[in-house]
Amino acid sequence: MICLTLMEDTIEKNFAVFMENSSFVDIIELRLDMLIDPLLVEPELVRSKFNFPVIITCRLVRDGGKYSGNEYQRRDILYQFSNAGFDYIDLEMGIVYPEVEEAAHSHNTRIIRSYHNFEGIPDNFEEIFRELASVVGEIPKVAVFLEGSCQVYKFFKIIEKIHDIEEKIVLGMGDFGIPTRVLYKKLGSFLSYCSVPGRSGAPGQLTPDKMKNMYRSDCINNSTLIYGIAGNPVMHSGSPNFHNTGYKRSSLNAVYIPFLVDDINYFFKLAGVLPLCGFSVTVPFKVDILGFLDRKSPEVVRTDSCNTVLRNGGMWEGYNTDLEGFLSPLAAIENLKDRLHRAAVIGAGGAARSVIAALKSLGLEISIFNRSEERGRILAEETACSFFPLEKFDLLSGYDLIVQTTSVGMIPDVEKTPVQGYRFHKDQLAYDIIYTPLKTKFLREAESSGAEIIGGMDMLISQGALQFEIFTNREYPQEEQKESS
Ligand code: NAP
């Protein structure tokens, strides 16, 4: 079940949020601690207003909630609500409220017994879980903050060990924990929480629309093929929307999830446990990933950069679709060969490697401009290009094509450009491979000088479609596939 956590300060506002999102969710969690004065709210009126499965909970500040009253007042609130016949009541581990529990039992309200840890996975995690699960009739719930790829891997391994506990709620909080929220059914969790933007019930919650329509998380089952994208940052990525839309249109039982990664070793361990069938690779891992590949496509060998990894017969195969994806919008430029002779590439990371190989295939003379001299010089030597430190960007005037491949200017730093103060001229072509925002400051400045511009979205779509083919052996569906009769 997908559970919408309602975090507004009045019942009316909560109801409005519920009405807007009810088609995406199966159950709601009413956070009584968020209400202005929950003691003044009539539980029966709330019960009759929400004709839907409801979990009630009231968290004290010390438990990560907002209720600032004392323990006795909280108990009174929960007692009153327990008598109104809600479906579930969430009580923290260690709370002993016999009258609340009795009222819950007499109204067939199931008790969710929860353990939250905002510091990470405790050493005795499994023990805690088993203790929670030992109370007959209660549903054990654990929510722990996951900080780093190692903890995500550890979390999935521990949950594997408690697969015998059939009815449970498990989730990892924070951006590293997002895969646990999407894959809640794989983890054997009977629900996963979500919330509307700006009203997050806990770190890492996705929106109801994304949970239902983008990730189709309530349809995930043991046969669902899992794909994803590994990066840091990664939440800005347009790839989950692109690939999940493709799976949906093709009626494929597959899901594509963002994996925030801080340690590629642990990410590979996790990829083995899930298991992942394939994944995209983004900033800053396109080069680091090479050491983990069992096979490399000719494009990976040529660029020393990999953005697509496929598991094939137990082997990790690396591909590079950036190279072809980068060329795709250039193909639409008239008289390309006559117009472009000298290209400047800003940046020397994983994407720059593909860009340089692509530009070489067009026969252009290339110069690299990079912040770190060492990295820039090494790439220039490997690719037979010239190199200039980024501070020398005034030299960019001598180039017909300037390609921006650094991550500078990407959301949220939309007012940044790696070439602050540079004045483009109208005969230049400026190409920024960043796609969030669609028009970076680099492109806005180029456009205002009359230069022609290309943003990164076309490249994203084109390289993504090639990735889709590698992952699924099918063409990317531009439209919904017709049901075969
Ligand atoms: P990467 O390997 O981490 O390389 C990052 C590059 O950015 C390096 O050259 C780095 O310079 C430079 N850089 C970072 N911060 C900087 C700063 N503050 N000032 C100057 N230079 C800075 O990343 P990547 O994989 O190449 O990706 C780079 C960008 O391309 C990302 O925004 C990514 O989303 C985008 N991209 C888009 C597509 C698409 O389909 N449109 C495909 C691939 C990549 P140093 O060497 O000095 O650290």
Task: Give the C-alpha separation, 347 to 325, whole Å.
Answer: 18
Q: Which of 280, 324, 371, 462 to mutate to test the pocket of ligand 1 (most atoms within 8 A of CB)?
A: 371
pLDDT, average across residues 246-274: 97
Q: How far is the CA of 398 from the centre of ligand 1 (A)?
A: 23
Verify that 246 and 200 share a domain, yes or no. Answer: no
Task: List the CATH number of the domain containing 16.
Answer: 3.20.20.70
Q: Which atom of ligand 1 is nearest to the CA of 372?
A: 47
Q: Which atom of ligand 1 is nearest to the CA of 348?
A: 9
Of 383, 405, 458, the one to substitute when testing ligand 1's pocket (max ligand atoms within 8 A of C-beta) is 405
Residue 227 lies in a domain: no
Is 173 a member of any domain?
A: yes
Q: Is residue 36 part of a domain?
A: yes
- Percent of the chain's residues with pLDDT above 90: 93
CATH number, residue 394: 3.40.50.720
Q: What is the pLDDT of residues 43-88, one digit of tens each?
A: 999 999 999 999 999 999 888 899 989 999 999 999 999 999 999 9
Q: What is the residue type of 413? A: D
Residues 103 and 218 in one domain: yes
What are φ and ψ of residue 176, in 5° steps?
-65, -25
Query: How far apart are alpha carbons 354 and 123 in whole angstroms?
Result: 44
What does the pLDDT read at residue 187? 95
**206 within some domain:** yes
pLDDT tens for 7-55 read 999 999 999 999 999 999 999 999 999 999 999 999 999 999 999 999 9
pLDDT category at 200 given cuts 50, 70, 90 is: confident
Split at pLDDT 50, 70, 90, the class of 483 is very low
Give CA–CA dist 408/416, Å, rounded. Answer: 6
Same domain, 297 and 337: no
Is-above-0.75 flag for pTM? Answer: yes
Domain final residue pick, 222, 252, 269: 222
CA of 80 to the centre of ligand 1 (A): 56
- By the 10 Å C-beta count (0-12 exposed, 13-18 middle, 19+ buried), 455 is classed as buried
Output 306 or 202, whichever has higher pLDDT: 306
| Residue 108 sits in the same domain as residue 251 | no
- 354 and 211: one domain? no
Q: What is the DSSP string of 116-153?
A: EESS---TTHHHHHHHHHTSTT-EEEEEEE--SHHHHH
Domain contains 232: no
- Name which residue sits closest to atom 13 of ligand 1, judged by CA: 406
Integer angstrom CA distances of residue 158 from 149, 208, 269 = 14, 27, 14
Last residue of a domain, one of 169, 187, 222: 222
Same domain, 268 and 342: no
- How far from chain centre, in Å, is Cα 208? 14
What's the 198 CA to ligand 1 centre distance in angstroms? 29
Residues 30 and 72 in one domain: yes
Number of domains in the chain: 3
pLDDT at 203 over 90: no
Which distant-in-sequence residues (6+ apart) come within 8 Å of 2 by Cβ?
24, 25, 26, 27, 191, 192, 194, 208, 211, 212, 217, 218
Same structural domain, 56 and 135:
yes
Q: Residues lining ligand 1, CB < 6 A?
A: 282-284, 286, 322, 325, 347-352, 370-372, 375, 390, 405-408, 410, 418, 433-435, 456, 459-460, 463
The residues assigned a catalytic role are: 286
pLDDT tens readout for residues 427-444: 999 999 999 999 999 999
- Backbone φ and ψ of 388, nearest 5°: -135, 140
Quote the tokens at residue 249: 């249109």
DSSP structure class, residue 58: -
How far apart are the CA of 323 and the centre of ligand 1, in A?
15
Element (H, E) at 312: strand 308-312
Query: What range does the domain containing 347 cover?
Result: 332-454
Alpha-carbon gap, residue 9 to 14, rounded angstroms: 8
Would 115 be classed as within a structural domain? yes
Can you give the C-alpha Rg of the chain in angstroms?
26
Q: Indicate if 210 and 288 belong to the same structural domain.
A: no
Residue nearest to atom 23 of ligand 1 (CA): 283
CA 7 from centroid of its chain's CA atoms: 22
Please tell me whether residues 381 and 266 are part of one structural domain: no
218 within some domain: yes
Q: Are residues 253 and 271 in the same domain?
A: yes
DSSP string covering 328-378, please?
HHHTTSTTHHHH--EEEEE--SHHHHHHHHHHHHTT-EEEEEESSHHHHHH
Mean pLDDT throughout 283-296? 96
Mean pLDDT along residues 378-394: 96
Query: Which has more confidence, 203 or 309?
Result: 309
- Regarding whether 301 and 342 lie in a shared domain, the answer is no
Pair 454, 430: CB distance under 8 Å: yes
